[in-house]
Amino acid sequence: MNDSMAARPAPLVTVTMTVNGRSVTRSVEPRTHLIDFLRNELDLTGSHLGCEHGVCGACTVRVDGDIVRGCLVLAVQLEGARVETIEGISASGEITDLQEAFVRRNALQCGYCTPGMLMCAAEFLRTRPSADREAIRDFISGNYCRCTGYHAIVDAIAETVEARRSAKGRGGHR
């Protein structure tokens, strides 16, 4: 890299996206990734950074309905996109049962991986719900947890799958 380039600020780019149902417009440096954008521009600190190189999953958020690694997406790529974070899916009530199961089963210790883990688990529940422990372990393998050893997380997800299934069987609303 040429030294004189190193410190020349790039022009800001204006981007508009919907975050947790609210339209937001900000002017940001093109290099700003989605998590810095959420945390620093919008004060949505529930999304975390564990590596900033796409490995740990602490930054998992939803973009246009699919989970992505927020640290690998630039904010300026998201013009017109629909972004949902842990704050958003908590408020909507979509995963209240899963959150309760995490608490009940102590599927978190320090809690740093938890928002990303819940986003990932929500995707599992939505797209391929199964109480099979191996299937759960495989699906959440891109989300690192350094505290729990995963067993309790698998328990909490499996329990939620079962509970939703039996609620459905009884004609419950899920």
Partner 1 sequence: MNSFKGVVGTSVARPQARRFVFGRGRYTDDLRIAGTLHAVFLRSPYAHARIEAIDLDAARTVPGVVAAFDGKAIASVCAAWTAQFATLPDHRSAAQPPLAVERALWQGQPVAIVVADTRAIGEDALGLIEVQWHELEPLPHPVATAVADPAHPPLHAALGTNIAYERCIVAGDPDTTLAGADRVIKRRFQFTRHTGVPLETRTVLAEFEPGLRRLTVYQSTQVPHQMRAIYAELLGLSEANVRVIVPDVGGAFGVKLHLYDDEIAVAAASMLLGRPVKFVSDRLEAFVSDIHARGHTVDASVAVKNDGTVLGFEVDDIMEMGAYSVYPRTSVGEGLHAISLTGAPYAAPALRARLRAVFQNKAPVGSYRGVGQPIACGITEHLIDAAAAELGIDPAEMRRRNFRRAGIDPPKTAGGIAAGDLSHQRCLERLLQLMDYDGLCAERASARKAGRHLGIGIAAFVEMTAPGTGLYGAAGVKIACSDGCTLRLEPSGVVTCVTGATDQGQGSDTGMVQLIGDALGLDFDQVRLVAGDTAVTPVGGGTWASRGLVVGGEAALGAAHALRDRLIDIAAALLDVRRDALVLSASAVRERDGAKSLSLAELGGMMHYRQDLLPSEVERSPVVTFHVVPTGLIANGIQASLIELDPESGFVKPLRHWVVEDCGRVINPMLADEQLRGGVVQGLGEALLEECRYDERSQLQNATLADYLVPMASDMPDIVIDHVHTEVTGTLLGAKGIGEAGTIGAAAAFVNALNDALRAFGCAISEIPCTPERVLRALRRVP
Residues binding ligand FES (CB under 6 A): 49-52, 54-59, 69, 71, 108-113, 145-148
Name 33's bridge partners. 74
Chosen from ligand FES, partner 1, none, partner binding at 87 (C-beta under 5 to 8 Å by type): partner 1
Concatenating the DSSP letter of every residue in 14-25 gives EEEEEETTEEEE
Chosen from partner 1, ligand FES, none, partner binding at 61 (C-beta under 5 to 8 Å by type): none
- Smallest separation (angstroms) from partner 1 to the CB of 97: 11
- Smallest separation (angstroms) from partner 1 to the CB of 114: 5
Dist CA 149 CA 144 (whole Å): 10
- Smallest separation (angstroms) from ligand FES to the CB of 1: 24
Dist CA 162 CA 174 (whole Å): 12
| Structure letter (DSSP) for residue 74 | B
- Residue 168 in tokens: 């459905």
> Pairing relation of β-strands 22-28 and 82-84?
unpaired
Give 68 or 76: the residue with its C-beta nearer to ligand FES.
68
Give 52 or 97: the residue with its C-beta nearer to ligand FES.
52
Chosen from partner 1, ligand FES, none, partner binding at 59 (C-beta under 5 to 8 Å by type): ligand FES
* H or E element in which residue 133 lies: helix 133-139
Residues at the contact surface with partner 1, assessed by CB under 8 A: 1, 3, 6-7, 9, 29, 31-32, 39, 43-48, 50-56, 58, 85-87, 90, 99, 102-106, 108-115, 118, 133-134, 136-138, 140-154
b/e sequence 132-155, b meaning 16+ C-beta within 10 Å: eeebbeebbeebbbeebebebbbb
